[in-house]
Structure 1
Amino acid sequence: MFTPIKHTTVSEKVIEQIKEMVSKGDLKKGDKLPSERKMAENLQVSRTSVREALKELEIMGLIESKQGEGNFIKTSFEDILLDPFSTIFLIKESNAQEILELRNVIEKGSVILAAERITSEELKEIKEILDTADISDSEDELVKLDVIFHYKIAQSSKNFLLQSILNAVSSLIEASIKDTRKNILVKKEHKDIIKKQHNNIYNALKNQDIKAAEKAMSDHLEFVNNEMKKSIKN
């Protein structure tokens, strides 16, 4: 029933303090951490404990060490989420359908919040993405623009966790069904359909129409997912 209480080392306490500072916003993405010596002085611990903590935080994916520059809070935390997702995917032998279902839930939640919170500047950026896609003949660019389009919507939700989870799931999709996804996006008969669906999403966001935004995103994801299922079966 009871388990022994784990002894907390000094380095673990340093880790918890840094994680807490990140969660509170005292340390932000891209911020440079003080030197090991300075941190040891401020925290009143040994430099060895600080060094151990920094190594562990780097393994976790929370900080990155740059040669000759120091230690920084990572500008992207998606790897922290991606590794557990990838492990679960392999252990459980999850199929592509489960990944797509997870993406659906996240994308629908993102677009609902985005319809409430999107700014005029963010709308302008999304419109520019659609305009660029409209005139692009590059398959790789079209795939890249599609990723950016969906990321910008998640970004407009103003929910950092949704953004990070969507990016992690997108990376998992990229790793598992990259070619299938690309073939769907660049297929000639699909281009006009996807263009119209993207424009429907944009217009709903522009009008801040939550129901229309959710429906437009649902229609788009249903189409893409159905095409993916067909391709995977074949």
Structure 2
Amino acid sequence: MNIYLRQQPVMIYLHLYEMRRACPRYVRSDTMGSMFTSVAQEKNYQAIISQVKNAIISGKLKVGDQLPPERELVRIFNVSRSSVREALKALEVQGIVQSYQGGGYFVVNSILCSIADSLSLFFMLEGCSLEELIQLRTSLELGSLSIIIQYRTDEEIAVLGTYMDKYVASTTSEERQMHDLNFHTALVELSRNPLYKYLLNAMHYIYTKNVALSNLVVEDKGAMDETIAMHVALYTAIRERNYDRASAELLRHFNFTKDDIQRQTEYFFTNSHEEPINHEKEIDEGASRTAEPKKESQII
């Protein structure tokens, strides 16, 4: 993780450098002057943010474009340097621009973390349920199924099968969790719809950040065998390009998941504070237990 964090700015800088080499584009100050207007009367850095966003939405600014230096932006917007800096920092936090020492500010598309964070907050503040989250994920995967079955090659679908094989071959709960996530992620990514991918990543973020039992897996042999069989049936239907059967298997899988999560939730909240009472043991050992010193409960 630390290596990644150290390398990321260099990787992004090189990526932007290659983009500018392939299609150099520096937005001139006089062009900016016609693109943006003075906000001196508004005295609000948010007006600068709105104008930059509107320029991106209208297509006047694109990923890789370099903004003019701060002094030029001060002149264009007719505001103080502190207002420009505040606006640029806010845009950077939102993943819309990125600064590089000695290189200025560039337009980027790094808003995934911002979107995921905003959706996570919305999920909690709106009081959304886990069932609603599963409904959204179901819709994404149903849409992906349609695209995959209609447009993807047999070779591309076979790659999805490798993830399913790893899931089936998993020997531990941790492995099953990882390969299950990889299988469903690959399914959505195979649609090649970037909006699907963004929403799926945001949902993963919400689940790991906000759902208390995200690291809890309560498995039993029957449930494990059933969910493995569902994955095999789903992939088989995709490989045979049978959308009706594939969608039915996907819905069956997510209905099972919803019920299983409900079971795990009940288990979690029942056992998170005290050990479950074994009534048979209590009856059998009643006399001897009264004679023994009282022991503290052990949380399993």
Task: Map 1:91-170 to 2 at 5 A.
Answer: 91-170=125-204
Contact 1:65 1:72 in 2 (8 A): no
Q: Which residue of 2 aligns with 1:13?
A: 51
Q: Could you tell me which residue of structure 2 aligns to residue 3 of structure 1? A: none
Relative to structure 1, is the Cα distance of residues 71 and 217 closer, same or farther in structure 2, using a 3 angstrom cutoff? same
Whole-angstrom CA distance in 1 between matches of 2:127 and 2:49 = 36
1:101-139 per-residue CA deviation (whole Å, 9 max, x = no partner) reads 332333323323332233344323211112222333343
Please give the TM-score of this superposition, normalised by the length of structure 2. Answer: 0.59
Q: What residue in structure 2 maps to residue 62 of structure 1?
A: 96
Which fold has the larger relative contact order, with Cα–Cα distance below 8 Å and residues 6 or more apart in sequence?
1
Q: Find out whether 1:171 has 2:181 as its counterpart.
A: no
Q: CA deviation at 1:71?
A: 4.8
Aligned to 2:250: 217
Please state how far the C-alpha of 1:218 moved relative to its aligned partner: 0.5
Matching residue of 1:192? 225
- In structure 2, distance between residues paired with 1:224 and 1:139: 15
Give the structure with the higher percent helix.
1
Aligned pairs for 1:64-103 within 5 A: 64-65=98-99, 71=106, 73-74=108-109, 77-103=111-137
Structure 1 pair 196–35 and aligned structure 2 pair: CA distance change class (3 A): same
In the alignment, what sits opposite 2:234? 201
| CA distance, structure 2, for counterparts of residue 64 and residue 120 of structure 1 | 40
Matched to 1:211, the amino acid is D
* Cα distance in structure 1, aligned partners of 2:248 and 2:125: 34
Q: Which runs of 5+ in 1 are unaligned?
A: 1-5
How well do the aligned residues superpose, as a CA RMSD in angstroms? Answer: 3.6
One-letter code aligned to 1:200: A
- Tell me the percent identity: 22
Q: TM-score of the superposition, structure 1-length normalised?
A: 0.73
Contact preservation (8 Å) 1:15, 1:53? no
* 8 Å CA contact 2:208, 2:214 repeated in 1: no
Q: CA offset at residue 149 of structure 1? A: 1.1
Check conservation: 1:180, 1:232, Cα contact below 8 A. Answer: no
CA distance in 2, matches of 1:122, 1:178: 36
Q: Report if the CA contact (8 A) 1:180-1:228 is conserved.
A: no
Aligned counterpart for 1:183 among listed residues 217, 220, 223? 217
| Matches of 2:167 and 2:109, distance apart in 1 | 30
Q: For residues 131 and 87 of structure 1, what CA distance do their matches in structure 2 show? A: 36
Q: 1:94 to 1:201 in 2, by over 3 A?
A: same
Code of the aligned partner of 2:250: M
Distance 1:67 1:195, change over 3 A: farther
Structure 2 letter corresponding to 1:219: R
